[in-house]
Amino acid sequence: MEPFVRLTGVAAPLLMDDINTDQVSPATTAFEPDYAALLFSRWRVEPDFVLNRKQFQSARILVAGKNFGCGSSRESAVWALAAFGIRCVVARSFGDMFRDNVLKNGLLPVALDDATAEEFEREAVAADGRATFTVNLETQSIAAPSGWVFHFPIGPADRNALLRGLDDIGLTLEHGKEIERWEERTRSTAPWAQSLPA
């Protein structure tokens, strides 16, 4: 996974609550879809949709309301954001599985409390894609073009995994022996759990 340390880019405001992953990446019948084109594809048919505006076509940051990424656990939502160029989503809160999927792909989810979010949203709207924001994960801060610096919380484990680009599966495989021991124990206490009828 590519480490996330710092990011400078345009922030696109999509200030709606409860945007579900069906909107972020609509169901497609394609085996290998064009993920960048898939991003918000049903909403992008509207010419004035935020990501269709010229200054947001290279956006690196997406700003949304509460409960962003609720609904389906489809990881294509994150792949679509990443393919478009988004590496950081700022919102008031996130759907649980979407947030997990974001972290596993090396994107940064920033959840702001309502008061801070309100200020940040105002900054994003005022900047209107004409100036960039700089996200710094080490200092857990985002510098707005106005000079205002926003601080955001993130758990130390998530922060560390992003900064170092850790391989999630690799981390778990270090515990292979413990998993084997768990299976061994279960074979004696509940054999049916480890062995299905033929």
Partner 1 sequence: MTTTLFDKVWNAHVAGRRSDGRDLVYMDRHVLHELHGPHAFARLAATGRTLRRPDLTFGVLDHALATTPGRDEFTNPAGAPFTSAMRAASGKHGFRLFDVHDAEQGIGHVVAPELGLVLPGTTYACPDSHACTVGAVGAIAFACGTTELEHVLATQVMALRKPLQMNVILEGTLAPGIGAKDVILDVIRRLGIDGARGFAVEFSGPVVDALSIEARLTLCNMTIEMGARTGFVAPDEKTFAWLAGRRYAPRGADWDAAVLRWRSVHSDDGATFDRTVVVDCSALDHMITWGTNPAHTIAVSGLVPDPQASPVEQRPGMQRALTYMGLTPGMPIEDLPIDRVFIGSCTNARIEDLEVAATLARGRTVAPNVRAIVVPGSSAVKREAEARGLDAIFRAAGFEWHESGCSMCAGANGDLAATGQRCVATSNRNFENRQGPGVRTHLASPAVAAAAALTGRITDPRRILAEV
Instruction: Report the number of secondary-structure helices (H) and strands (E) in the chain.
Output: 9, 8
Among 57, 58, 141, 172, binds partner 1 (CB under 8 A): 172
What's the DSSP call for residue 165?
Answer: T
- Minimum Å distance from CB 69 to partner 1? 11
| Residue selected from 26, 64, 89, 124 as contacting partner 1 according to rule CB under 8 A | 26
Identify residues 72-111 at the interface with partner 1 (CB under 8 A).
72-75, 78, 93, 95-97, 100-101, 104-105
- Cα gap 185→75, rounded to integer Å: 34
Q: Which of 66, 85, 136, 154 binds partner 1 (CB under 8 A)?
A: 66
Q: In one letter, which amino acid is 118?
A: E
Chain centroid, CA 15 distance in Å:
16
- Closest to 67 (Cα-Cα) out of 94, 89, 43, 46: 94
36/177 Cα distance (integer angstroms):
41
Residues binding partner 1: number (CB under 8 A) = 55
DSSP structural state of residue 52 = G
Residues 79, 76: Cα–Cα separation, whole Å: 5
> Which string of x and - marks every residue 122-161 that binds partner 1 (by CB under 8 A)?
-----------------------------------x--xx
Using rule CB under 8 A, residue 173 touches partner 1: yes
Residue 37 binds to partner 1 (criterion: CB under 8 A)? no
Angle at 28 between CA 25 and CA 31, to 5 degrees: 115
Contacting residues toward partner 1, per CB under 8 A: 16-18, 20, 22-23, 26-31, 42, 66-67, 70-75, 78, 93, 95-97, 100-101, 104-105, 157, 160-161, 168-169, 171-176, 178-179, 181-183, 186, 190-197
